[in-house]
Amino acid sequence: MEAASTSSAFLDDLSQRGLCQNSTDLKALGTLLGDHPQRFYVGFDPTAESLHVGSLLGLVTLKRFLDVGHLPLVLVGGATGMVGDPSGRSDERNLLDEDTLRHNLEGIQAQVESLLGDSVEVVNNWDWMSQVGVLQFLRDVGKHATVNQMVAKDSVRSRMDSEAGISYTEFSYMLLQAYDFWWLYKQRGCRLQLGGSDQWGNITAGIDLIRRREGAQAHGLTWPLLTRADGQKFGKTAQGTIWLSAQRTIPFEFHQYFLRCDDRDVAQMLAQLTSLPMSEIAAVMAEHENSPDLRRAQHKLADEVTAFVHGEAEVRKANDAAAVFFGSGKLTAQLLESTLGIVPEVVVSQADLAEAESAGENALESLLVSSGLCSSLSDARRQLKQSAVQINKVRVAGPVSAEEIKSHMLGRYMLLQRGKKEHRLVAVTA
């Protein structure tokens, strides 16, 4: 297999992309990867029914290993999910109930398979964890770990220093994850675990366990946490998380998130999140720096990442819709129709508008609220006063009557907009 000859180039590439935060002995790891196709694993927490862009780095990295011939296992934590990983958290987690957990597992499993294909094997640690009794666990795993070491891990220490403290349950988490690694080593010959840098402590716990019980050398490699120059959390907006599931975050919004990427972050993101060769990334960045106003790098990033998650067709749709909203072209009924399914659609009846008016409200204000563009009538008035509201890309400053709204309809729809980024397609029925 080609992996043999290219293993060191492969690791070099990873490291050039800024994907090696911590690792066990890189030389030994290179030898291991060069030897045969290796089985390795990455774990994902079943905290929701869909993964979000925070997990994207893991998925993409996994794919890099897959593409050079290694054999990935994706571990979804049916068992560990019941406990909660303290890593990177300042507060105790809420425990999920079993139904939710099962639901989440299924969602994530389907997602991973659809993104990475069936060469990825998804395993659930519930399958082996649930077979282990407390006494057995204490003897087989607990005996090999000293509390002194466990307390020294960053994830634990930072919580012990904080007011929130840490429960025994979460304290035990690393042993569960160590047991996973050991089990996968023993049963599946898995000798490498990948994860985010917050997983480093848990990974080394597993490596220790394997060494102590089996006298064998296992490996770990972590990627850094994605950060943003503006200090915000990667993958979160004020509206919430950017999910990978099209039901939770429509591909258009997903695409927009990356399109709005800060100049300072874009090179890094291209390297870490896309499979473009580094040479091509350098070329794109050169173009970008030449005329940053064209946002070539951001477009490339958004297109590549969206294609990976949602496919090429969605990339085209997202770009088409963006052209409608942000382009300077004239709006037509046809263009509006083409954004259906991308912009939320709001249907109101003439009767509703009339009713609002007879109740003494302004039709547009009440529409802004019912469409979800504004949170209250007060908010709607504020936005209007600040001339934040646009109808068909034309700013409106004052109240608009039901009659006038009707006159704005382009075919079946009218484009109602708050600020630059929030749109609704409004249909008025008889």
Query: Which residue, 189 or 292, is less far from RNA as judged by CB?
Result: 292
- Binding segment for RNA among 67-75, 100-108, 133-141, 381-389 (CB under 7 A)? 381-389
Candidate list 381, 392, 393, 427; residue touching RNA; CB under 7 A:
381
Candidate list 386, 401, 403, 411; residue touching RNA; CB under 7 A:
386
Name which of residues 323 to 342 contact RNA (CB under 7 A): 326
Separation between Cα atoms, residue 268 and residue 319, nearest integer Å: 23
As a three-state string, the secondary structure of 198-215 is HHHHHHHHHHHHHHHHHC
Q: Is residue 163 part of the contact set for RNA (CB under 7 A)? A: yes
Q: Which of 222, 241, 193 is nearest to 54 (CA)?
A: 241
Separation between Cα atoms, residue 19 and residue 17, nearest integer Å: 6
Separation between Cα atoms, residue 199 and residue 86, nearest integer Å: 10
What is residue 86's three-state secondary structure?
Answer: coil
Candidate list 55, 104, 124, 383; residue touching RNA; CB under 7 A:
383
Candidate list 205, 322, 415, 428; residue touching RNA; CB under 7 A:
322
Q: Is residue 401 part of the contact set for RNA (CB under 7 A)? A: no
Candidate list 114, 375, 401, 429; residue touching RNA; CB under 7 A:
375
DSSP label of 171: H
- Binding segment for RNA among 112-120, 309-317, 335-343, 382-390 (CB under 7 A)? 382-390
Query: Which residue, 287 or 422, is less far from RNA as judged by CB?
Result: 422
Separation between Cα atoms, residue 226 and residue 270, nearest integer Å: 12
Least Cβ distance, residue 318 to RNA (angstroms): 8
> What is the DSSP secondary-structure string of 18-79?
T--SEES-HHHHHHHHHHS--EEEEEE--SSSS-BGGGHHHHHHHHHHHHTT-EEEEEE-TT
Q: Which of 127, 215, 134, 218 is nearest to 172 (CA)?
A: 134
Separation between Cα atoms, residue 35 and residue 29, nearest integer Å: 10
Least Cβ distance, residue 68 to RNA (angstroms): 33
Query: Which residue, 246 or 377, is less far from RNA as judged by CB?
Result: 377
Candidate list 168, 230, 279, 329; residue touching RNA; CB under 7 A:
230
Name which of residues 9 to 48 contact RNA (CB under 7 A): none
Q: What six digits make up the tokens of 203?
A: 């990974």
Backbone angles phi, psi at 382, to 5 degrees: -55, -50
User: What residues have CB less than 8 Å from 207, skipping those under 6 apart?
Assistant: 24, 181, 193, 217, 218, 219, 220
Question: Across the beta sheet with 389-391, what order do the strands follow?
Answer: 345-349, 422-429, 414-418, 389-391, 394-396
Least Cβ distance, residue 341 to RNA (angstroms): 17
Separation between Cα atoms, residue 70 and residue 84, nearest integer Å: 29
Separation between Cα atoms, residue 262 and residue 45, nearest integer Å: 28
Chain-centre distance for alpha carbon 214: 36
Query: Which residue, 14 or 374, is less far from RNA as judged by CB?
Result: 374
Q: Is residue 268 part of the contact set for RNA (CB under 7 A)? A: no
Candidate list 103, 361, 392, 393; residue touching RNA; CB under 7 A:
361
Candidate list 119, 360, 407, 430; residue touching RNA; CB under 7 A:
360
Q: Is residue 352 part of the contact set for RNA (CB under 7 A)? A: no
If binding means CB under 7 A, how many residues of this protein chain bind RNA? 40
Q: Per-residue string for binding with RNA, 243-262, x by CB under 7 A?
A: -------------x--xxxx
Q: What six digits make up the tokens of 371?
A: 């469409």
Burial 145-183 (b: 16+ CB within 10 A, else e): beeeebeebebbeebeeeeeebeeebbbbbbbbbbbbbb
| Strand partners of residue 125 | none
Q: Is residue 420 part of the contact set for RNA (CB under 7 A)? A: yes
Candidate list 113, 355, 357, 422; residue touching RNA; CB under 7 A:
422
Candidate list 293, 330, 334, 358; residue touching RNA; CB under 7 A:
293
Query: Which residue, 2 or 293, is less far from RNA as judged by CB?
Result: 293
Query: Which residue, 41 or 252, is less far from RNA as judged by CB?
Result: 252
- Binding segment for RNA among 106-114, 185-193, 405-413, 418-426 (CB under 7 A)? 418-426
- Can you give the binding site for RNA, defined by CB under 7 A? 163-165, 229-230, 232, 237-238, 256, 259-264, 292-293, 295, 298, 322, 326, 360-361, 369, 375-379, 381-383, 386-388, 418-422
